Structures are given as structure tokens and as C-alpha cells.
Amino acid sequence: MANLLVVAEARDGRVGGASREAVSLAASLAGPLGAEVEALVVGGPGVSADAGSVGAAGAATVRVAEHEALAEYSPEGYTQVVVEHVRGGDYVAVLFSATTQGKDLAPRVAAVLDVPLATDVTGVEVEDGVLVIERPISAGKAFARLALDATPVMASLRPNVFPVTEVGGEAAISAYTPDLDASSWKVRVLERKQTGGGSVDVAEAAIVVAGGRGMKDPSNWNLLESLRDAIGAGAALGASRAVVDAGWRPHGEQVGQTGKTVAPTLYIAVGISGAIQHLAGMRTAKTIVAINKDADAPIFNVADYGIVGDLFEVVPRLSEEIAALKAGG
């Protein structure tokens, strides 16, 4: 029987939320396709300890490829492991998460296996026994429905789009040590630098607090940091290009056409006018809040809720109210 394979992502030994979303989606497709869901977790020794969490999201079996050389993401090592795994099985579809890692890995695997790939997918359905994929194009200005004429169908899924349904299942977990020769790899990481501010990337965060030129000065970001902290885990900071280009914020925080595309459950735009290139990166957020002193700012056209006013008054109050809400339970 041909199965559905989810290439799960483990970071610091934990299987990420995006992988559980992918497993959940696969589980919803398994019935119509008459397939079972298998997850492949790739990582360093000990990664299997957290592999069971994808069982609860609907995977029947979990294979864990453990190797010292896989403790950190290595494009060559991971590509080899996934390619060998797919070749050794019989899959109708192979799903990745469109995280930084998944975006790096999936195209390599697809090219080696010689199958096309749909990236950053926001919809998958079974129609007449065939997978039909929907994905945004032109930064969400349109959506394309696609059929991929190859087996397996390969896709990477945009984080935060597909819900996780806990089915409470238990997966059969089995680990193995792939045969790897790291000395032949042509890419080596020389140094890693953390930019602090927590490890949630703006592209994957469930809630984004984004600031623009209206913030006036980089030192004022303490206001947005307080708001982010009041919201708590899962929140990340974002920025408009104007403030990134001014050197106020790091490039990794930029949201928009030439920055990250985000689809959080809540996007709070503070002192951002809402230029078309900015909207391109965040218009698919579930709920958008805009805080801007200009009632005619285009950001209000996409915002679900807006406050017209001075951010220097509104934001501290918002942090306070949210902190009070969280404290009150």
C-alpha cells in the first residue's frame, strides 16, 4: 500500500509544531487515499525521545534516522537520508513543512528524485483519488490550484495554515542509524550566531508584533518587546522594510514581498502604513490589528480591528491590558 510520508523537523531534539500540522493534514488525506501516515524524523542521537508526539497527531508509524552528523541540520546529510528513505518505500506523497529548513531541504530532495515540488502550500485536497494542491502566487495576490504529474507528489506546507487535530494515536516508532560520510560534504557551518529575542522566527510565530517607521527610533522597540512578552510564548517581532533598511531592525525580521511571508493567527501592525509590498507578506494572517495615527493609512483596509491613535499611548496600554488578562487567567 502506498503511504503518505511526512518529513518531520526536529529542532533541539523537539519535533516542531509545523511537523504536527503536516502530520495532521496527512492523516486527513489518508482515508480518501486509502493510505497510512508515516513520519520520518531526522536528527542527532536521542531525537527519538520526542518522536512519539507525531503519533498523537495521526502518524501510524514513525521512522527515526539518528546520527551524530545529523544533530544540526546539514543539507547534504538530510537530503541523503530523505532520498534513501523515499526510494526505499512506496509513497503517494511526501510532505515537508515550509520552514527555513524545509525550504532548503525539499527542493534538493525533489531534484534528486526527479519529481516536481509545490512549495508553501496552503491547501491540499483529494479529488477523484488525486491530490490537488493550492498555493499562493505573487505574494498572495492570487492562488493557484495545481496538479503534479509525478509520483510521489511532493509539497512543502506553509506553517500555521493547517490545524493540528489530536487523535491521540500511538505510533510504532523505530530508529535506525543511516550510513553517512560527513567528510564528503561540501558545505560546512563555521559559526552560528544567535540574535537573541527568543528562538521563534517571525515566519513561524503564531502571533507577530510588527513595527514600522512610526516607531520613530530603534530605542522605542522596548515598547514592542514588552507587548510581545505580555502575549507570551509563540510571539515574535516583525518589521517593515523601512525600518530594516534604516538599520533599526535585523533583516530576518522584515515582513513583506522582499522579506518573510507570515500567516500568524494574529498580526499587530504598529506604525506601519500598509504599503502593498508589506501587505504582500502578511495579508493572509487570520486576524490583523492596526495601530496608526493616520485614519487613512492603507493598513486599515486589511485590518480586522484598528485603533486610530498615537502608538506611544496605545501600545503601553495594550501591553498592560493583555498582561492583566493573562494574569487573570
Ligand X SMILES: Cc1cc2nc3c(=O)[nH]c(=O)nc-3n(C[C@H](O)[C@H](O)[C@H](O)COP(=O)(O)OP(=O)(O)OC[C@H]3O[C@@H](n4cnc5c(N)ncnc54)[C@H](O)[C@@H]3O)c2cc1C
Tell me the one-letter amino acid at 180: L
Interaction partner, residue 240 (ligand X, another protein, none; CB < 5-8 Å by kind): ligand X
As to burial, measured by CB atoms within 10 angstroms (0-12 exposed, 13-18 middle, 19+ buried), residue 110 is: buried
> Contact at 8 Å (CB) between 118 and 259?
no
* Window of 42-50, 195-203, 235-243, 320-328 that interacts with ligand X by CB under 6 A: 235-243
Cβ contacts of residue 132 below 8 Å, gap of 6+?
Answer: 124, 125, 126, 145, 146, 147
Q: From the CB of 14, what's the least distance to ligand X, in Å?
A: 30
Determine how β-strand 153-157 pairs with β-strand 117-121: parallel
- Contact between 218 and another protein by CB under 8 A: the answer reads no
Among 97, 240, 257, 273, binds another protein (CB under 8 A): 257
Q: From the CB of 226, what's the least distance to ligand X, in Å?
A: 16
CA distance 231 to 139: 27
> Contact at 8 Å (CB) between 169 and 56?
yes
- Contact between 278 and ligand X by CB under 6 A: the answer reads yes
Residue ranges in 148-167 that form contacts with another protein under rule CB under 8 A: 148-150
Which residue, among 83, 97, 87, 95, has the nearest Cα to 28 in the 3D structure? 95
CA distance 182 to 22: 29
- Contact between 238 and ligand X by CB under 6 A: the answer reads no
Which residue, among 201, 210, 286, 196, has the nearest Cα to 242 in the 3D structure? 210
Among 63, 311, 318, 319, binds ligand X (CB under 6 A): 311
> Contact at 8 Å (CB) between 113 and 86?
yes
Q: From the CB of 236, what's the least distance to another protein, in Å?
A: 9
Among 46, 174, 294, 317, binds another protein (CB under 8 A): 317
Binding map of another protein across residues 125-144, x = CB under 8 A, - = no contact: -------x--xxxxxxxxxx
Residue ranges in 287-306 that form contacts with ligand X under rule CB under 6 A: 292-294, 297
Nearer to ligand X, 174 or 258 (CB): 258
- Contact between 249 and ligand X by CB under 6 A: the answer reads no
- Contact between 62 and ligand X by CB under 6 A: the answer reads no
Residue ranges in contact with ligand X by CB under 6 A: 212-214, 240-243, 254-259, 271-273, 275, 277-278, 281, 292-294, 297, 310-312
